[in-house]
């Protein structure tokens, strides 16, 4: 595995210089700011990532205002009581939403998940925001095991949308990790995710950069 400095040099060349590359990098939000986000914004991020799977961003963006309204602003405690009720039937018939029963059910299940997390920790947001970046793989496993349809890239993209520090294992990021010998194939096991975490932690220690920045640098060293 090469140093991040070497990989950064490749990304810099691809993007036309260091200033151009740095302008493309997003940074995670401060933990205190992220923790202040109300729980309905976390549920909205999870829902958007779930709806996004299999659809273009433009389609979801165009429908999003209607989706927010149909789901009553994504208040977890309200939606937690909708499963198996007339509200569920209404959603399945509502043209404002993506009328996919499995996805709608997953969103209501995630409302239950966040409501339970809030019962345990006061609010879900601070708990998710405070999870150490050096153990990000553990947060992803937690979302996969406790949430609904939040495994794979869905949970990763939802956290990135919220500004939470972490990686997104896009095809380009995965290609760079394979090329660097971190993993042999796409990370689909706990062992592989631990290997990814170890590599990101090493690069973070070398560079002082966030996991978010490192993830994007890896992607830009491969993609156009």
How many other C-beta atoms are found inside a 10 Å radius of the C-beta of residue 222?
19
- Whether 153 maps to a domain, the answer reads no
Q: Are residues 125 and 176 in the same domain?
A: no
- How confident is the model at residue 195, as a pLDDT? 98
Q: Are residues 175 and 203 in the same domain?
A: yes
CB 219 within 8 A of CB 176: yes
pLDDT per position as a tens digit, 192-201:
999 999 999 9
Q: How would residue 83 be classed by pLDDT, with cut points 50, 70 and 90?
A: confident
193: closest CA among 151, 147, 150, 146?
151
Q: How would residue 186 be classed by pLDDT, with cut points 50, 70 and 90?
A: very high
- Whether 114 maps to a domain, the answer reads yes
Q: Are residues 117 and 37 in the same domain?
A: yes
pLDDT per position as a tens digit, 103-127:
999 999 999 999 999 999 999 999 9
Q: Are residues 183 and 97 in the same domain?
A: no
- Whether 139 maps to a domain, the answer reads no
For residue 224, is pLDDT > 70?
no
Q: Are residues 128 and 48 in the same domain?
A: yes
211: closest CA among 138, 135, 141?
135
Q: Are residues 51 and 80 in the same domain?
A: yes
Q: At what angle do helices 171-179 and 211-220 cross, to 10 degrees?
A: 80
Q: Are residues 49 and 106 in the same domain?
A: yes
Tally of CA atoms within 13 A in the half-sphere of 154 that contains its CB: 25
pTM for this model (two decimals): 0.95
Q: Are residues 46 and 99 in the same domain?
A: yes
- Whether 207 maps to a domain, the answer reads yes
For residue 4, is pLDDT > 90?
yes
Residue 116 phi, psi (nearest 5) = -65, -40
CB 204 within 8 A of CB 197: no
**What percent of the chain lies above the pLDDT cut of 70?**
100
| Residue range of the domain that includes 192 | 4-28+167-220
Q: How many domains does the chain have?
A: 2
Instruction: Examine the fold and report which residue of 132, 151, 185 is the final residue of a domain before the chain moves on.
Output: 132
- Whether 145 maps to a domain, the answer reads no
For residue 12, is pLDDT > 80?
yes
């Amino acid at each position: 595995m090469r140093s991040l400095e070497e990989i950064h040099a490749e990304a810099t060349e691809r993007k036309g210089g260091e200033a151009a590359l740095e302008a493309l990098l997003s940074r995670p939000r401060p933990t205190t700011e992220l923790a202040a986000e109300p729980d309905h914004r976390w549920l909205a991020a999870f829902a958007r990532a779930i709806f996004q799977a299999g659809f273009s961003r433009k389609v979801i963006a165009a429908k999003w205002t209607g989706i927010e309204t149909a789901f009553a602003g994504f208040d977890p405690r309200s939606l937690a009581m909708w499963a198996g009720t007339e509200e569920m039937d209404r959603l399945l018939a509502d043209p404002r939403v993506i009328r996919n029963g499995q996805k709608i059910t997953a969103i209501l299940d995630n409302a239950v998940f966040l409501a339970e997390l809030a019962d345990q920790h006061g609010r879900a947001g601070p708990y998710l925001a405070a999870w150490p970046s050096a153990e990000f793989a553990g947060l992803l496993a937690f979302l996969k095991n406790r949430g609904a349809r939040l495994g794979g890239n869905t949970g990763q993209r939802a956290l990135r949308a919220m500004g939470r520090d972490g990686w997104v294992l896009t095809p380009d990021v995965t290609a760079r990790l394979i090329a660097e010998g971190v993993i042999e194939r796409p990370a689909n096991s706990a062992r592989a995710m631990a290997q990814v975490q170890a590599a990101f932690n090493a690069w973070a220690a070398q560079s002082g950069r966030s996991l978010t920045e490192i993830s994007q640098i890896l992607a830009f060293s491969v993609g156009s």
